[in-house]
């Protein structure tokens, strides 16, 4: 009941902030016009972004981290634990006022989690989606963090930020939107922004091995298209790029089993969403919104152990 109440409250906040041009020109566009043009990242998150409240009332737009003894039915707790695991690997405990940067911050849920845990930190998020900037700032202000968390609109592969200005940089399920199989430009930018000794944490899906069939490869391409992803990173190429850039203490953690309990929530959340938002909802179901429902349902068909897509946390230190 508490989750439903929070979901309705968050959804109401998002609806109030949805730009009029988005409502009139995107959500109510003729179906054939929507189908004719490719969906871009900005359009996808502007249309489907509010739907993430069905997954997390706090807008944690990632999978959860399960620890032994935790309640696998408490999805929000597992999502918050993933935030905690990322923070732990940034290793900022000995820094009085750590400066942390979120590359692809979404609506800022992880930044707000860090703000609660690090009262003297300086936190900044980057996203290229204007709608997310507006929403994140509003949610940060609502949580009392207006002056502690900054969110800017920028390309995270080429930011206007000063070099060597952050103690920690992370990308939580956002590195997939970077270019290339090794995400070179993203890693170069992260390396530039980190101070010497600073740490990088990347959590995402990574490809290893080959697809077992052409059908599975087509499903993978459909997942990528639904989420407006060119390609997930190839794990070995990603690690080699880190090494070439001079990163040290590179660690690859395989989290497939850690995230499995939260992945098992997907069918129920999808069914609930279809009943409440599709059957009885008032917002038009655009192609982007349908894609957001379809992608997580297809994901297990191309993920380990059935496919080559694995879920990893990769950490490294700038020398």
Domain ranges in the chain are: 1-319
Residue 53 pairs in a beta bridge with none
Helices (H), the chain: 2-17, 20-21, 31-36, 41-48, 75-90, 109-117, 130-142, 184-193, 214-226, 235-245, 256-263, 266-273, 287-298
Do residues 109 and 80 make contact, with C-beta atoms less than 8 angstroms apart?
no
Q: What is the pLDDT of residues 38-71, one digit of tens each?
A: 789 999 999 999 999 999 999 999 999 999 999 9
State pLDDT tens for residues 170-214: 999 999 999 999 999 999 999 999 999 999 999 999 999 999 999
Instruction: Tell me how far apart the alpha carbons of residues 76 and 32 are, in angstroms, rounded to a whole number.
Output: 37
Q: What is the pTM of this model?
A: 0.88
Contact of 47 with 24, CB cutoff 8 Å: no
Q: What is the CATH number of domain 1-319?
A: 3.40.50.150
Least confident stretch, 29-38, 111-120, 289-298, 301-310: 29-38
Q: What is the pLDDT of residues 216-228, one digit of tens each?
A: 999 999 999 999 9
């Amino acid at each position: 009941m508490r989750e439903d109440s929070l979901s309705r409250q968050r959804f109401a906040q998002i609806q109030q902030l949805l730009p009029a041009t988005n409502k009139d020109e995107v959500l109510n566009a003729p179906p054939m016009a929507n189908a004719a043009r490719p969906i871009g990242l900005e359009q996808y998150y502007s249309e489907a972004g509010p739907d993430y409240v069905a997954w997390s009332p706090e807008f944690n737009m990632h999978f959860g981290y399960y620890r032994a003894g935790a309640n696998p039915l408490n999805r929000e707790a597992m999502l918050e634990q993933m935030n905690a695991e990322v923070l732990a690997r940034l290793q900022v405990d000995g820094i009085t006022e750590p400066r942390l940067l979120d590359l692809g911050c979404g609506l800022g849920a992880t930044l707000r989690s860090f703000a609660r845990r690090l009262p003297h930190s300086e936190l900044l998020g980057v996203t290229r989606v204007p709608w997310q900037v507006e929403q994140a700032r509003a949610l940060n202000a609502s949580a009392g963090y207006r002056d502690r968390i900054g969110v800017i609109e920028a390309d995270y592969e080429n930011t206007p930020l000063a070099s060597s200005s952050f103690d920690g940089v992370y990308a939580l399920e956002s590195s997939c939107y970077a270019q290339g199989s090794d995400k070179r430009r993203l890693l170069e930018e992260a390396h530039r922004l980190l101070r010497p000794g600073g740490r990088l944490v990347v959590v995402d899906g990574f490809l290893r091995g080959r697809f077992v069939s052409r059908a599975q490869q087509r499903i993978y391409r459909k997942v990528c298209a639904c989420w407006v992803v060119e390609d997930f990173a190839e794990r070995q190429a990603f690690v080699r790029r880190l090494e070439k850039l001079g990163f040290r203490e590179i660690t690859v953690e395989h989290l497939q089993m850690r995230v499995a309990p939260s992945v098992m929530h997907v069918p129920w959340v999808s069914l609930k969403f279809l009943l409440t938002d599709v059957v009885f909802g008032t917002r038009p179901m655009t192609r982007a919104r349908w894609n957001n429902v379809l992608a997580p349902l297809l994901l297990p068909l191309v993920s380990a152990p059935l496919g080559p897509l694995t879920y990893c946390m990769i950490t490294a230190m700038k020398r």
